[in-house]
Structure 1
Amino acid sequence: MIVNGKKFSAVVVVVIMVILMMFKSCHKISAGYVGVVYSPNGGVQEKVLTQGYNFINPFKNVTEYTIGTEQAYLSADEREGSEDNDSFMVPTSDGKMVNVDLEYSYRYDENKVAKIFTRFKGKSGDIIQNTYTRVKIKAYVSEVTSKFSVLDIYGSKRAELNLETYQHIKDKFAKDGIIIESVNFSRIGLDPATATVIQQRVNTQQELERQKIEKQKAQIEAERNAIQEEGKAKVKLIQATAEAEKILTVAKAQAKANDLKKKSLSSELIKYEQTLRWDGQLPKVTSGGSPLIDIRD
């Protein structure tokens, strides 16, 4: 009985060890992550672990890297995700220093995570982000802002600054296997003196723009009035022309009628017309006692 009891205990121990080994061999990779497998005697395994449960040698280590988009902040506002005041100063082309907040999104290249593991000596993605990426971004941003003046950064070239900064940072991190998906200056802070000067310039520029718009409106109004007057003059000219043509047409018709009438007159026709109009009575004009008209014939 004692022997059987020892055998049963041994079996239980073996079963427990097997269960523990299976439990230790099962590694869960969260959604949006991949895992790099490493062992002291075999080095880095080329094939990475994908999301879900994976069975691996319990004596190997797994380091995870995000391949889903992660949002990060370098901000003075802890509500944006910064634990401390992570805003930073950047230089401008006119020798000023500007305090900025930056937000960016990133992920690790799934095809390069094994190389990332080796390059950063086995550090996890979060550690790389906090000790390398955030530091380098500040330096890369400064390389871009140094090409822009304060007025450019604060005013009309803000969009151009964002685009150039994004492209520069994206290219810089590509060699590290870190994919930068977006970059944006969420705040650009100025000292009071500089802010006042810039505001004055902005106000002046706005006033010039307003005057320019007013001038354009006046020109458009003048052109519209000129077009209207020209249209009225054309209408009057057309009416006058039509009236003149009407008078000319009537005159030509009258002249033609008179000409036809003149050509149709003859001595016989005149006498005939006179005969038709004679009432049969002789003229009664007398002078002295002698008749003026001799009708004896």
Structure 2
Amino acid sequence: MNTESVVRNPNQNPKQVSRVVIGAVVILVLVILGFRSFAIVEAGHRGVVLQLGAVQPQVLEEGLHFKIPFIQTVIPVEIRVQKAETSQVSASRDLQTVTTTMAVNYHLDGTTVNNLYRTVGMEYRGRIVDPAIGESLKAVTAQYTAEDLISKRSEVSAKVKEALAAKLSMYNMILDEINITEFKFSEEFDRAIEQKQIAEQQALKSKLDLERIKIEKEQEITRAQAQAEALRLQKQEVTQELVQLRQIEAQLKAIEKWDGKLPNVTGGATPFISVDK
């Protein structure tokens, strides 16, 4: 006999109606309990188990898990790499104001997220990460002058990373990497740096000019010495025989160029008389 027949039949026993209603309620409760008896931990997360509000020692891995309905609650906590970007104002060793922009990559230790949830809660970035970044930056930048912060950026970055990793590890957080993207100083300091760079460039140019002039002078001296040495060697090679040989060569060239006519008058003790053919 179904519920519809019970409703339509006014003479039906009320006890039977009650049993049907109770059965339906029990089935509904069982379905609800069935759904609330399982928890799914998504990829890249861990599950923190709360039993009547108390954090339990076990941490749930990714996947489907059984829990006690209405007694236990599963809080998902992300353990994937997270990024924090911040801009911090600090002072250098020479008391220059420095604004540092830095990006930080970190993640939570999946095996101890229950301890982090118990001691810090889900607001761990605002309570732990951001203050730790500021403290680490201020502690390191105070060890360097403003110019050293620029010229030794890799060294500064390594020290900041070491200090920040130590602070985050106290709360079961793991530092992956940091990147200092910018050091920004006051306008007065920027102008002073610019003037210094201009002066250094001018000094370097003057030094290079002096070196160039020195090299050119040495080259001229070398050329002059080489020419003098060549002349000296030529003088050593000039002999009486060489002079006579050159004279004979000159006479032979003159004879080759002669057209067969005698000159009208020639110099010397005995002049030639023109003889007409």
Q: Does the CA contact (< 8 Å) of 2:164 and 2:175 recur in 1?
A: yes
Q: Residue 103 of structure 2 aligns with which residue?
A: 103
Q: Residue 13 of structure 1 aligns with which residue?
A: 25
In the alignment, the residues of structure 2 paired with residue 71 and residue 166 of structure 1 have an alpha-carbon distance, to the nearest angstrom, of 14
Name which of 176, 181, 184 aligns with 1:189: 184
In the alignment, the residues of structure 2 paired with residue 38 and residue 144 of structure 1 have an alpha-carbon distance, to the nearest angstrom, of 40
Identity %: 20
Q: Residue 260 of structure 2 aligns with which residue?
A: none
The letter for the 1-side match of 2:109 is D
Shift of 1:7: 2.0
Shift of 1:94: 0.6
Show CA shifts across 1:41-100 (max 9, x none): 7x43222112233221232233333221111111xxxxxxxxxxxx32111111122122
The letter for the 2-side match of 1:199 is E
Q: TM-score, normalised on structure 1? A: 0.61
Count of residue pairs the alignment pairs up: 209
Shift of 1:202: 3.4
In structure 1, stretches of 5+ residues that fail to align are 75-86, 230-297
Q: Residue 48 of structure 1 aligns with which residue?
A: 59
Q: Residue 81 of structure 2 aligns with which residue?
A: 69
- 1:176 has 2:181 as partner: no
Show CA shifts across 1:248-283 (max 9, x none): xxxxxxxxxxxxxxxxxxxxxxxxxxxxxxxxxxxx
The letter for the 1-side match of 2:169 is A
Q: TM-score, normalised on structure 2? A: 0.65
Shift of 1:174: 1.2
Shift of 1:10: 1.6
Q: Does the CA contact (< 8 Å) of 2:48 and 2:114 recur in 1?
A: yes
Name which of 45, 64, 77 aligns with 1:33: 45
Runs of 4+ that moved beyond 6 A: 209-212
Name which of 190, 195, 198 aligns with 1:200: 195
The letter for the 1-side match of 2:101 is D
In the alignment, the residues of structure 1 paired with residue 17 and residue 201 of structure 2 have an alpha-carbon distance, to the nearest angstrom, of 95
Show CA shifts across 1:133-176 (max 9, x none): 112221121111111111122x2111221121111101221121
Change in Cα spacing, 1:208 to 1:152, as seen in structure 2 (3 Å) is farther
Instruction: Tell me the SS of whatever aligns to 1:186.
Output: strand
CA RMSD, 1 decimal: 3.2
Shift of 1:209: 6.2
Change in Cα spacing, 1:23 to 1:151, as seen in structure 2 (3 Å) is same
Shift of 1:207: 5.3
- 1:157 has 2:152 as partner: yes
Shift of 1:179: 0.7
In structure 2, stretches of 5+ residues that fail to align are 1-11, 224-277
Shift of 1:13: 1.4
Q: Report 1:1-297 matches (<5 A).
A: 1=12, 2-40=14-52, 43-58=54-69, 59-74=71-86, 87-120=87-120, 123-124=121-122, 127-153=123-149, 155-205=150-200
Q: Residue 288 of structure 1 aligns with which residue?
A: none
In the alignment, the residues of structure 1 paired with residue 143 and residue 185 of structure 2 have an alpha-carbon distance, to the nearest angstrom, of 17
Change in Cα spacing, 1:204 to 1:13, as seen in structure 2 (3 Å) is farther
Instruction: Tell me the SS of whatever aligns to 1:93.
Output: coil
